[in-house]
Chain A
Amino acid sequence: MTSYRLGNAGSVNRGQPLTFTFDGKNYKGFEGDTLASGLLANDQMLMGRSFKYHRPRGPVTAGSSEPNALMTIGTGARSEPNVRATVAELYNGLTAVSQNRWPSLTFDVGAVNGLLSPMLGAGFYYKTFMWPAALWEKLYEPVIRRAAGLGKLAMQADPDRYEKSWAHCDLLVIGSGPTGLMAALAAGRAGARVILVDEGFRLGGSLLSESASIGGVSPADFAAAMIEELEALPNVTLMPRTTVFGWYDDMVFGAVERVQKHVGTPSPDLPMERLWRIAAKRAILATGSEERPLVFGGNDKPGVMTASAVRTYANRYGVAAGGKIAVFTNGGSGYRTAADLVAAGVDVTAIIDARAQSADAVPDNVRVIRNGAVVSTKGRKRLEALIAERSGFQEQIACDALAMAGGWSPIVHLMCQRGAKPVWSDEAQAFLAPDVGAAFIAAGSAAGQDRISACLKDGATKAVALARELGFAAYEMNIPEVEGEYDPAFAPIWYVPGARDKAFVDFQNDVAVSDLGLAQREGFRHIEHTKRYTTAGMATDQGKLGNVATIGIVAGMRGVSPAAIGTTTFRPFYTPVSFGALAGTSRSEHAAPVRTSPLHDWAKKNGATFVEAGLWHRSAWFPREGEKGWRDSVDREVKNVRRNAGLCDVSTLGKIEIFGKGAAEFLNRIYCNNFLKLPVGKARYGLMLREDGMIFDDGTTSRLSETHYVMTTTTAYAAEVMSHLEFASQTFWPELDVRFVSSTDQWAQMSLAGPKARAIISRVVEDDISDAAFPYLAAKPVTLRGGLKARLFRISFSGELAFELAVPAGYGEAVADALMEAGKDEGICAYGVEALNVLRIEKGFITHNEIDGRTTPDDLGYGRMLAMQKADFIGKRQSSRFGLTAADRMQLVGLKPVEVDKEFMAGAHLLKEGATPSMANDQGWVSSVCHSPTLGHVIGLAMLKSGRERYGEKIVVWDGLRGKEVAAAVCPPVFADPDNRKLQE
């Protein structure tokens, strides 16, 4: 027997046994165990392999800084790699497998790397794998990639769900050890809203692991009593299994709650994890401190752990880390561990104390080697013995576990995430929390307090002060008496000289002291350089365990204080957080909301196929029986619109109601063309520019009354245009009386286009809509038969006689049905955005295919719209720059294939005949292409250098990407009805 379950120690629930598997083997544990304690109880010390040399490793800690005992938990889509066994809560049926080994954990071929370690030191890869050059990607890199990495991600869709929530409090207490519990209770009793958060599955922190008497009871019982009282306070929220991973601006903390990670069969009614954004007025960092490993030869053997870990396994989980445990210490922690082990009946073979003397109490019958050092360890997959040295004499001591106590580092990570650096204290021989202002303070051992009694007091005092600051009545806390606590003081020893084996500072990444030395010799002296060159501190524990030793050792090599070396940068996340928790519900189909038009159901029942357009689902085409593909449907729809009539849903276009006495003037400044004198009852096409003179968006704006306009925008730019109008109104011209309301969702809008449009719509509209009464560009409120008030616009995006009818959204479907019914005899059809696109290309109308943010009005043939005589409009002053007016700018043209059966595609470029493809010869590009059923061949719109001068020129449409080259003739961009006769009918 090496490690084993103690008879009666700890607080695991022995009445609740659990079964679990590791690498296919069955084990038994208890409720309250972690996976690591459960494995240790079954004498399974070997839990992982290191990253680079694949060395056998066991757990070093009993907490969240664990670098070695990483496993994959769960199976299939629920499997999760790189779980720290030291914090994973054991549950019935848990399955775990080891990682980064092949073929098995006990026999790992990758361990051969260890033999090559003299050549694989820090930064070795920067100096090698360069010969021959071609082999890096073909050979070296694939091999390195396969060997690297830790666990396997299943890469399957996650069957569980995640959610997010905000929480608000007066005081956030991070950590539920002695400091946190006292702080929470003090503030809670004073009446403050308190949230107490702890990463552990059981509140109590270090109290669960320590032996002492607090107010006459054990630390664990004391914690239980405190928690009971906290639970009873309605203003206190307790959040176990919750890790605060980040401190963000304005005292917002990011936290993740593991709601069901400890459950064998997750409930579908609960999230797997919940992300919390906690907005706190004040916060106390009560995260305690981390025990530092000692850096000595062979310090990575399975069985070598921090003393506090050994103590935690014994006192909390009732597990002896070994049958014969040695202690290597530089302070009181080692002695306390020895005492606790002896009390539990575990054999402690020796205490090796690096110091010459100390006042720490030595347990009876335990041998102490003072001024001693461990210089080597024996054993491969399990520690078998250590070599201790004193005064030049070496001695082998048999042991199967070694508790190392290297001093304490306050856990100040969160406080240093926003730029403040921790401050070295010679007195504490540690980096202490920086001063980050009064709202967020450290307390207890996170603030450098070292004893339980001091932590209790510090937590209470600081919480009372914060509560008072927030206006809560002062509450006097009684600090309970602590008896039997030990003195955790230590004398730092960064590196134990005389190492006969590799001495590791970063266990997971296999960074040894020799690597740090090499980095210094090679000039990587800044601690960030040392880190990046050696990878020390870059493993999944982010240097929680080893960084302070790294800094101390580098300081020693350089002969300076650790203060002169400083720390590397602390950044979120305190411990790794799942993508799932951070993503929450916004994923896959729910990645973004779906917008559907008020005519969606109308389109659906007419058989529409839908297409995503931004957030919208738009009707794309309406297939009919016998049609072989989308082209058949689209051709039919186009022809029918040109011959008879078609109804298209255009509700997705942005609609903005504009009110106010200043509206006319405002629009005149917003659009580059004139809007001041637009008459009531008329619509006008407008171009909006950006201040740099490029087109921003286009659309029609109609004047419904002296002080009321309705603007339409493109579907894509509706939100941007609304913001733009608000920006211009509120910041440029607040003196203009103008207000805006987006009404996109309030109106169902449909375009009825085609020669029979008037005949059809007149059956639905009561008003006179003859050409005389309702000419081209008329825009007026109308009444539908039956009394419904609507808006009618005589505007066209197809080149046909067309009306756009807008009705309140709820009436949309009924009105569309009525129009379809009214047009039945005229051969009406529903048409979608694909046909709409064909119609507009045939007519040479532009969309954001052409308006790509780099085009001016003149580029598109709208140069005359630039009303430069206006005193001001957005974009006016930058429009006349040379680059925007140069003669060789690309201009909108039409393209027809020279041979009508040849096709080209949007995205092709243009070349002069006979020119070789090159950037210098690039003449332009094709922006929109369709098959024109009207003309019977493909047509396109293109941007061509000096295009308007080149009508009639034969040009090459070059599509090297898709292996196509087609000759085309340059023509004006309007293919159908260039004289606009149909619009005026």
Chain B
Amino acid sequence: MRYSAYSIIKQALSGNRLWTPAWREPEPKPHYDVIIVGGGGHGLSTAYYLAKEFGITNIAVLEKGYIGSGNVGRNTTIIRSNYLLEGNIPFYEFSLKLWEGLEQDFNYNAMVSQRGVMMLAHSDGQRDAYARRGNAMRMHGVDAELLDRKQLQTLMPYLNYDHARFPILAGLLQKRGGTVRHDAVAWGYARGADMRGVDIIQHCEVNAIRRDEQGRVTGVETNKGFIGCNKLALATAGHSSETARMAGLELPIETHVLQAFVSEGIKPVVDHVIVYGAGHFYISQSDKGGLVFGADIDYYSSYAQRGNLATVEHTMEEGVSLIPGLSRGKVLRAWGGVMDMSMDGSPIIDRTPIDNLYLNAGWCYGGFKATPASGFCFAHLIAKNESHHVSRFLRLDRFERGHMIDEAGKGPQPNIH
């Protein structure tokens, strides 16, 4: 059912009784052209673009829980393309462009809100580093502005200018960055994929990957039985190592937990996405009024979707240090997202050494903003067997070749990227 002003009024007049399901609940067929493991943002967008852009519709998305139960439903909803390196900028910019047209494209309001992402600099060195980044963005045609302290004081008067331990000197602003209503992204893609014939199969857990004598993947064993496929695509970030292990693959990934938080609803006070440069704190305010924020990962490996108190406290310390007025606000809820932390902090969209097996992994804490481009590029790879040009650097073998994409410059220690 297409959503329009007409459909809403018509439905309202008939007591909202005739709305139809946003997606079907089909039983799996014995065989698909493509099986996508993982009904999160990336898996669903992959299915959507495969069907819409690449003409492949005989697809199943297998989700062990409910769709969107992973990180697409537990993040801080930020979109941006303010990256530094050649391997990342074109990819994230492509993603941002897809975000900009997404709602019209899939006829679903995901509340894409380009309210601006501000990264604050607290030392000369950091300002120089942000200038380098801003210029890299501009070189690629991405919007970036460098604001000085005075401009910041006008734009964000509530920041801690007078009593900061680390002075606020400058800010790198990407106006086109912003936020998106996260759940709606999963739902919009699911609905769009379903309308094009994709089977979204929830509560379907993959237990094994079946391969033939030549080692080629032929399908998956699930709690709903064997399902065959020509191509198998893994989009299970957070659990990529576990799914890849079923095919005997070891990945350059450790799994870590990142906490995020939401405050009680309050009237609008924070109009941008703000990133604290003297720590890892970042914050925005949802349309409902809750302040949505986070900071560091918990640093130890964890597959549990929950964090520890020390990190909670540290997050609030940074938050109140940056925005003193938060102090008397109240935090409502904390949650933990389980992430693939890759060895250089950048993701992987690539074929694997195993025939018919495709991998989408390693999203660290940046997976949400990548959702459209990740799906598009992964679909491109699956359909054409070659990388989309904007994801051509995001290769699995880049570590062996020495072509890491190390935005943070921290080297092969996943928990500090």
A interface with B by C-beta (< 8 Å): 51, 77-82, 118-119, 121, 124-131, 133, 136-137, 141, 144-146, 148-158, 162, 164, 246, 248-249, 252, 254, 275, 277, 417-419, 514, 518, 521-526, 528-529, 532-533, 535, 539-540, 542, 569, 571-573, 576-580, 582-584, 586-592, 594, 611-613, 690-694, 696, 848-849, 852-854, 878, 881-885, 905-909, 917-919, 921-922, 925-927, 958-962
Contacts and interface: CB of A to CB of B under 8 A. Distances in A.
Nearest to B138: A960
6 contacts: A81-B329, A82-B264, A141-B287, A275-B313, A523-B22, A583-B321
A583 B319 contact: yes
B54 interface: no
Interface in B88-127: 89-90, 103-104, 107-115, 122-125, 127
A118 B15 contact: yes
Interface stretch (B43-51, B237-245, B369-377, B396-404): B396-404
Given A78-B328, A578-B328, A582-B312, A130 B103 contact: yes
Given A157-B324, A576-B331, A692-B412, A881 B400 contact: yes
Given A128-B5, A130-B104, A137 B164 contact: no
Contacts of A162: 327
B210 to A, nearest CB: 28
Given A155-B325, A692-B411, A960 B269 contact: no
B249 interface: no
Given A275-B313, A572-B334, A882-B402, A526 B202 contact: yes
Interface string B7-19: 1110011011101
A232 to B, nearest CB: 32
A164 B331 CA distance: 17
B12 A962 contact: no
Interface residues of B, number: 122
A522 B323 CA distance: 41
State the 3 A-B residue pairs at the shortest beta-carbon distance, nearest first. Answer: A853-B409, A907-B131, A883-B402
B136 interface: yes
Contacts of B109: 125-130, 136
Contact of B8 (A79, A124, A529, A571): A124
Interface stretch (B139-147, B216-224, B225-233): B139-147
A140 to B, nearest CB: 9
Given A522-B22, A919-B90, A133 B103 contact: yes
B384 interface: no
Interface of B: 3-5, 7-9, 12-13, 15-17, 19-25, 65-66, 68-69, 73, 86, 89-90, 103-104, 107-115, 122-125, 127-136, 138-141, 144-146, 158, 160, 163-167, 181, 183-184, 187-188, 202, 263-269, 278, 285, 287-289, 304-306, 308-309, 312-313, 315-321, 323-335, 398, 400-404, 406, 408-412
A576 B411 contact: no
Contacts of A80: 328, 330
A853 B408 contact: yes
A587 B334 contact: no
Most chain A beta-carbon neighbours within 10 Å: one of B269, B312, B323: B312
Contacts of A571: 306, 333-335
A518 B16 contact: yes
A338 B316 CA distance: 46
B134 A961 contact: yes
A252 B268 contact: no
Given A149-B267, A417-B306, A906-B132, 8 more contacts: A153-B328, A155-B325, A526-B65, A573-B331, A573-B333, A885-B402, A919-B89, A961-B131
A130 B330 contact: no
Contacts of A145: 268, 285, 287, 289
Most chain A beta-carbon neighbours within 10 Å: one of B12, B167, B323: B12
Contacts of B103: 130, 133, 136
B139 A922 contact: yes
Contacts of B400: 881
A611 B122 CA distance: 11
A343 B307 CA distance: 50
Nearest to A248: B309
Nearest to B290: A149
Contacts of B316: 579, 582-583
Given A150-B266, A573-B332, A588-B164, A691 B22 contact: no
A573 B19 contact: no
A146 B288 CA distance: 9
Given A137-B115, A528-B66, A878-B402, A153 B306 contact: no
B19 A919 contact: no
B326 A853 contact: no
Contacts of A249: 308
A908 B131 contact: yes
Most chain A beta-carbon neighbours within 10 Å: one of B65, B134, B165, B400: B165
A962 B148 CA distance: 11
Contacts of B264: 81-82, 150-151, 540, 576
B138 A961 contact: yes
A696 B406 CA distance: 14
Contact of A127 (B8, B122, B304, B333): B8
A523 B327 CA distance: 40
